[in-house]
Structure 1
Amino acid sequence: MRFFALAAAIAVCSQPVAAHWQYTRWGMTPDQVISASKNTAHIASDPAMHGTAEARNLLDGKYRSQGFDFDINFLFDTSNKLSHVSLQLVTPADCPVLQGKLSNIYGSPKTSVTPIINLAKWWDKPHGNVLVLMQIGDDSCKLQYMKYEEAGAEGGL
């Protein structure tokens, strides 16, 4: 009986981490994200505006949580698989409050502060996510979620 309990515990602990942001899962296609969002995500109005060569903004949406309103950009890799979720805070002045709430959830972030930009980064290994909060002056506050990759793992450092 003890062996069975130990084997079950090892099996549960060795399961892959369920990395995701809210209703999405990393690796989803644009159609899957639209479906999972119950059609609140839609084709991006200006895909070039928020994307890069490696992460293209194919879908946009709106999101509200904890009293914060966000504009969302869903970014996909060159295989059209979800790789990043970027949330632009509608009221950038609330960025310090948002950072405080995130710190209450994830602990103290690694920070970098310059006269132009403030960065705060959390590694949420238990949930398989990396979060980066970027505040640029008083005009912009963006929170990015991306998949946590172990150093040395495929796709990691």
Structure 2
Amino acid sequence: MRGSFAFLAALLLGPATGLADWEFTRWGMTVDEVQRASRYDAILNGQGFGCLLEMPGPIRFQGSRFDKVLFCFDDDTLLRRVELVADATAYAALERSLQQAYGAPRLRRSLDMPERYWSHPESGDMVQLSLEENAVVTYREAPAGSN
């Protein structure tokens, strides 16, 4: 559980610390590197592709409770995004928290509901809020050349 405490401490520091550059993750890490860096609190979830690792919650982030954190990888199994998953009822509180941290969101239309997203001011990484069966805050690496 020591890895969970380091992860939680990094999350509680908020957006100024960077996004996937939390204490134990960096964009481009392999599955094994993320597991080792988390002291094996991030576990294989049997998905087979995409979000291969998860860390069970509850985790508090910017005053909101998340049920789990997913670590998602590209086809070369390199870390490309981190998803914080909460109950759908947390959506409004998450939106307020992200607006306080990053300002007014930009909107992108998805199938049923617009997705709100922001760019992290220092890294250029994308922060996205979406709602399907759960509320999900996704941190994604900035596109190459965007900084």
What is the TM-score when the length of structure 1 is the normalising length? 0.68
Aligned length: 125
Distance in 2 (CA, whole Å) between partners of 1:32 and 1:135 is 30
Q: Give the partner amino acid of 1:122.
A: W
Q: What is the aligned partner in structure 1 of residue 7 from structure 2?
A: none
Distance change >3 Å, CA 19–CA 86, structure 1 → 2:
closer
Q: What is the aligned partner in structure 2 of residue 14 from structure 1?
A: none
Distance change >3 Å, CA 68–CA 19, structure 1 → 2:
closer
Distance in 1 (CA, whole Å) between partners of 2:42 and 2:110 is 34
Distance in 2 (CA, whole Å) between partners of 1:119 and 1:58 is 24
Distance change >3 Å, CA 101–CA 19, structure 1 → 2:
closer
Q: What is the aligned partner in structure 1 of residue 51 from structure 2?
A: 57
Q: Which runs of 4+ in 1 moved over 4 A?
A: 112-115
Please state whether the residue corresponding to 1:39 is helix, strand or coil: coil
Distance in 1 (CA, whole Å) between partners of 2:110 and 2:74 is 30
- The percent identity for this pair of structures is 22
Distance change >3 Å, CA 97–CA 122, structure 1 → 2:
same
Selected match of 2:77 from 80, 105, 110:
80
Q: What is the aligned partner in structure 2 of residue 135 from structure 1?
A: 131
Distance in 2 (CA, whole Å) between partners of 1:112 and 1:130 is 13
Question: Cα RMSD (Å) of the superposition?
Answer: 2.3
Instruction: Indicate whether 1:20 and 2:7 are aligned.
Output: no
> Alpha-carbon deviation of 1:128?
3.7
Q: What is the aligned partner in structure 2 of residue 7 from structure 1?
A: none
Distance change >3 Å, CA 88–CA 81, structure 1 → 2:
same
Runs (5+) with no aligned partner, structure 2: 1-17
Q: What is the aligned partner in structure 2 of residue 145 from structure 1?
A: 139
Q: What is the aligned partner in structure 2 of residue 38 from structure 1?
A: 39
Runs (5+) with no aligned partner, structure 1: 1-17
Distance change >3 Å, CA 83–CA 115, structure 1 → 2:
closer
Instruction: Indicate whether 1:68 and 2:69 are aligned.
Output: no
Structure with higher Rg: it is: 1
Q: Is the contact between residue 30 and residue 79 of structure 2 (CA under 8 Å) also seen in structure 1?
A: yes
Q: Give the partner amino acid of 1:74.
A: F
Q: Give the partner amino acid of 2:75.
A: T
Q: Which residues in structure 2 correspond to 1:77-116 (within 5 Å)? A: 77-89=74-86, 91-112=87-108, 116=112
Please give the per-residue CA displacement for 1:5-30, whole angstroms capped at 9, x wherever unaligned.
xxxxxxxxxxxxx6625231100011
What is the TM-score when the length of structure 2 is the normalising length? 0.73
